[in-house]
Amino acid sequence: MSFVDGLQARDAITDNAVENDWQIHFKRANKKQFEAACHDPCAWFCSGSLVSKNGVVVIKKSDDVHTCPRAVRNKLVTSTWIASKYLHVFRLHPSMSCKDLGRDLMQRYAFDATKCRLYHAKRKAIDMLVDTVEEHYAKLSSYTLEFCRSDREGRFELHVDVGAVFNAMYIGFSGLKKGFMEGCRRVIGLDGAFPKTYLGGILLSAVGTDGNNQMYPIAWVVVEVEMSFVGGLENAVKEIISMAEHINCARNIYANWKKTHKGPALKQLFWKLLRSTYMQEYVGACRELEKEDG
Ligand SMILES: [Zn+2]
Q: Helix and strand tally (H, E) in the chain?
A: 11, 10
**CB within 8 A of 289, min separation 6: which ones?**
266, 269, 270, 273
246 alpha carbon to ligand 1 midpoint, in Å?
70
pTM score of the predicted model: 0.56
262 alpha carbon to ligand 1 midpoint, in Å?
59
Q: How far apart are CA 28 and CA 23, in angstroms?
A: 16
42 alpha carbon to ligand 1 midpoint, in Å?
5
pLDDT tens across the length of the chain (294 residues): 789 999 999 999 999 999 888 999 999 999 999 999 998 889 999 999 998 888 889 999 988 789 998 887 888 999 999 999 999 999 888 889 999 999 999 998 888 889 999 999 999 998 888 888 888 888 999 999 999 999 999 999 999 888 888 888 999 999 999 999 998 988 888 888 887 666 778 888 999 998 888 899 999 998 876 555 555 666 666 676 777 777 778 888 888 888 888 888 889 999 998 899 999 999 999 999 888 877
pLDDT of 229 reads 53
41 alpha carbon to ligand 1 midpoint, in Å?
8
pLDDT of 228 reads 52
pLDDT of 171 reads 93
156 alpha carbon to ligand 1 midpoint, in Å?
58
In terms of Cβ atoms closer than 10 Å to its own Cβ (0-12, 13-18, 19+), residue 279 is exposed
Backbone angles phi, psi at 129, to 5 degrees: -65, -45
110 alpha carbon to ligand 1 midpoint, in Å?
18
CA–CA distance from 27 to each of 3, 37, 105 (Å)?
A: 18, 7, 27
64 alpha carbon to ligand 1 midpoint, in Å?
9
Judge whether 192 and 230 are in contact, CB under 8 Å: yes
21: three-class secondary structure by DSSP: coil
8 alpha carbon to ligand 1 midpoint, in Å?
21
268 alpha carbon to ligand 1 midpoint, in Å?
62
Of 10, 5, 12, 2, the residue nearest 35 (C-alpha): 10
114 alpha carbon to ligand 1 midpoint, in Å?
24
Judge whether 174 and 154 are in contact, CB under 8 Å: yes
Q: How far apart are CA 13 and CA 9, in angstroms?
A: 6
